[in-house]
Amino acid sequence: MQEIGAPVPAIQEENLRFDEVMQSRARALYRFVTPGVLDDKTVLSFDKIDEALGDACRMFVPPDAVVEVQATRARMKGMIEAWKGRDPATFHTVEGLFELRRDLYRIWKSYPENTEQYESASDVFRNVSEAIFEIVPPLCRHMLGGITQATEQLGEIEAALERNPDANVDAALRELKHTLWTSIDVRFKDDAARLGRYLDAAHAMRLREYLVARAIKDITSWKTALLDHFLGPKDGPWRRPKAFRT
């Protein structure tokens, strides 16, 4: 018998696959953040997190969903309590708290949408996320917010190109680049190869192929640098598009 409050794997399998892709793309950006910003090893207090969790757990629950919601809240609370018991030097730092946030996100998204369990897990995740953003230093908060925004923007571009490979996503790409250089690292503004390395790490295959095709048609120094990155070594992380293989 399935545990009350546990996710429904069959229903959520597709959503989890999508979320895993998004989380992987977010992790890919960490390596491009301005060096040292996320290396702060200060041990941070869980007081605000405990307060946010308590607030979420006191929200109204429909009488016919009390058992399921309580089990869901207990599952997320258990995750937080276990995290508090881990090595503070690793798990109570900026990076550690964002790993906690990521795991809570996965619990939330493991429940079927439009259920009391999903909504309850969402309340906990959102409250705790707000608390974490209050705890971390301002510069970290800015960059980690940028990681979230850029990941969502890249996901929208990839989805648009999946629906229509001939779609024009130049405006969305400009917004993505603006987020990258203003929130992650200013070198994204002029370093085309840096953008290329990010797209490689994020496995953004559709946008990569789109950029190659556009660059072939309209060569500029920036696009030439992008082509040098994407079409350079044959043993690189990507195979050349069929039209450009030699």
Question: Can you tell me the distance from the alpha carbon of 57 to that of 77, in angstroms, rounded to the nearest whole number?
Answer: 9
Residues with Cβ within 8 Å of 146's Cβ and at least 6 positions away in sequence, in order, are 179, 180, 182, 183, 184
Alpha-carbon distance 134 to 159, whole Å?
32
pLDDT number for residue 162: 92
The full set of domain ranges for the chain reads 41-136, 150-244
Q: Over pLDDT 70: what percentage of the chain? A: 77
Render pLDDT for 50-71 as a digit per residue (tens, 0 to 9): 999 999 999 888 888 888 899 9
Residue-wise pLDDT for 105-133, tens only, equals: 889 988 888 898 999 999 999 999 889 98
Task: Identify the band that residue 220 occupies on the pLDDT scale cut at 50, 70 and 90.
Answer: low
pLDDT at 74: 94
pLDDT the model gives residue 114: 87
Please say if the pLDDT value at position 88 is more than 50.
Answer: yes
DSSP assignment of 58-107 equals: TS---GGGHHHHHHHHHHHHHHHHHHHTS-HHHHSSHHHHHHHHHHHHHH
Report the predicted TM-score, pTM, of the whole model to 2 decimal places: 0.61
How does DSSP assign 170-205, residue by residue? HHHHHHHHHHIIIII-GGGGT-HHHHHHHHHHTT-H
Least confident of 11-15, 73-77, 194-198: 11-15
